[in-house]
Amino acid sequence: MTKAESRAGASARNMIFPLALAQFIASYAATSMNVAIGSIAKDLGTTVSGVQTAITLFTLTMAALMIPGSRLTDIWGRKRCFVAGLIVYGTGALLASLAPGIAVLIVGYSLLEGIGSALMIPPIYILVTVAFPDIKSRARYFGVVSGAGGLGAAAGPLIGGLITSAISWRAAFGLQVLVVAWITVLARRISDPARSGRRPRFDATGAVLSAAGLFFVVLGVLQSRTYGFFASRQDFSVGGTVVIPKGWISPVWLFVGVGALFLLWFFLHLRSAEGKRRDVLLPLRLFRNRVANLALGTQVIQWLVLQATFFVTSVYLQEVDGYNAVKTGLLLTPATIGILAASAAADRLAKRRSQRSLIIVGFFLTVVGTALLLGLVRAHSGILSWIPGLLFTGIGVGIMLTSSVNVVQSSFPDTDQGDISGLSRSLSNLGSSFGTALAGSILVAVKLPAGKPYAVALTVLGVITLIGLVLAVLIPSEQPDVAGGGGGLGGPVVRSAGRLARGARGGPGCLGGVQRSAAPGSDALDFDLQREAQERPDQDDQPEDQDVIQGRGHGNRPDQVGGDEDLQAEQERAPEGPAQRRVALGRQPGAAPRRDR
């Protein structure tokens, strides 16, 4: 390794700490407020419902603006967007710590922290993807970031409870200000590779429609805690007028329906704008990638199960066993340890197993953990009965969180990283919101003690986890690593020139482990390659393309490809020009590559 390569690698590794710390603080903010609701309400002279409204608005703001925030990374730059998010977030935390009333708390916590999170979270995953071109290094550092996120979500109630009990809820916000200021200083070491091509225009219409759609969908899901998912538990009134009487269909579906209409309008807008060749907020080609779609589905279920399990466990410990917030947070430590241990082992696991296999194993371990909680835990049964189930659940979630993110991000080229990162984070937030809402709705709907609401809630989570396991099994065994790196996400690096030849002719084999099953996601790559060929036609025959075909591109060693004689024969038959570049990068359009005329 040359000194320049060594310095580049060190620079990439140095930026991981501030990125992971930012993900931690964002996840911490989403869960730490729950244990301070009573203290905040008493101090500000408001109601518990008012504080819960502030927490709900934070979730809604972050979820609604995540996709527009990710698009801004392509316009402002990833590092600049990240730092801007930190500044907005820190300002909101400072304002919340000084809030004299609920209105200022909502502005600081709900709005500014929500906007800051939407700006700083997407660049975290984009920067990791573009900084580490090979799948194994990416798995290691996605493990660090995902582990930090899981740790923040799990430790939020514990840390928030300790600070609130020992000092004040205002000190909890003060801690966020100090950490964000530290991250902003550390962010100077972040290296942001220049993005090729022109900067896209911001799609304001798409941003409004997507934000409105996600806002109403998440709001509807959160309303299930009050009204239930099916028959409304109480009258739903607007301005003193009863719109939906008790016993009628839940108003949840009213909000979700309005959100669905906005999202339908959003997709129609995208199709119309793309037909006119305008810049859009979210390219429709992202939804044509079967591998990414399945991985996104597993991501939603992972965050749903994680947040719902924490919610059910916390409520059970406080309502049935009489634990306070600090003791409840401490009892969740086995799950936190499991998430951290699995995330720390992501690099080693990626070297031994495919990302698909790791997602499957993660779901399986989570099912085992849920079964252990159902089988061992009883009222006042003691701490030891909780440890096995929470530990298995934490390990399972930790394993698959990293792998699912890796599969999604690696399914697209650098030019699409901003778009897919925002979509991925939005769906994760939706999963988290739906998880706590679903669990809360079940606990309220099933009556104590005969109804066994906690057992019912865990059983439902077990069934949902099994659905996630099915989605994981449906992921193709080999997927393209379009974002860079040698070797597909599901299998080893190509090791024979014969297999390369089959891939070049449109057969099942292809460089980098790309298979025909990945064809639906190749449209984005095709578009970028055509544009690159038009802009730089004189580079089609450069030696770097020949190196890629020989197996030396994207970090592969020459000894990873077959014998020299086979190599020479394949080089003589290798196509030239733009078609050569497409085959070298693993393009599989579902048909034989176009021939140069």
- Express each pLDDT in 442-486 by its tens digit: 777 665 445 578 888 899 999 999 999 999 999 998 655 565 544
Question: What tens digit of pLDDT does each residue of 231-256 get?
Answer: 888 888 888 888 888 888 888 899 99
Averaged pLDDT for residues 263-268:
95
Is 30 a residue whose pLDDT tops 80?
Answer: no
* pLDDT at 532 (0 to 100): 43
Q: Indicate the pairing of strand 236-238 with strand 241-244.
A: antiparallel
* pLDDT at 580 (0 to 100): 43
Averaged pLDDT for residues 418-439:
83
Return d(Cα 303, Cα 310) in angstroms, integer.
11
Q: What is the pTM of this model?
A: 0.71
* pLDDT at 24 (0 to 100): 92
- Residue showing tokens 């993660």: 362
Domain with residues 8-190+281-474, CATH architecture: Up-down Bundle (1.20)
Question: What tens digit of pLDDT does each residue of 368-426 get?
Answer: 999 999 999 887 888 889 999 999 999 999 888 888 888 998 888 877 888 888 888 88
Q: Other C-beta atoms within 10 Å of 349: how many?
A: 23
* pLDDT at 472 (0 to 100): 94
Q: Residue 328: name the closest of 489, 128, 169, 162 by CA.
A: 162
**pLDDT band per the 50, 70, 90 thresholds, residue 502:** very low
Q: pLDDT over 70 for what percent of the chain?
A: 76
How confident is the prediction for the chain on average, in pLDDT? Answer: 77
Whole-number CA gyration radius for the chain: 25
Return d(Cα 489, Cα 424) in angstroms, integer.
18
Q: pLDDT over 90 for what percent of the chain?
A: 28
Higher-confidence residue of 340 and 92: namely 92
Return d(Cα 354, Cα 403) in angstroms, integer.
9
Question: What tens digit of pLDDT does each residue of 97-148 get?
Answer: 999 999 999 999 999 999 999 999 989 988 888 888 777 777 788 888 888 8
Is 355 a residue whose pLDDT tops 50?
Answer: yes
Averaged pLDDT for residues 350-374:
92
Strand partners, 244: 236
Can you give the residue ranges of every domain in the chain? 8-190+281-474, 203-280, 497-584
Q: Other C-beta atoms within 10 Å of 533: how many?
A: 16
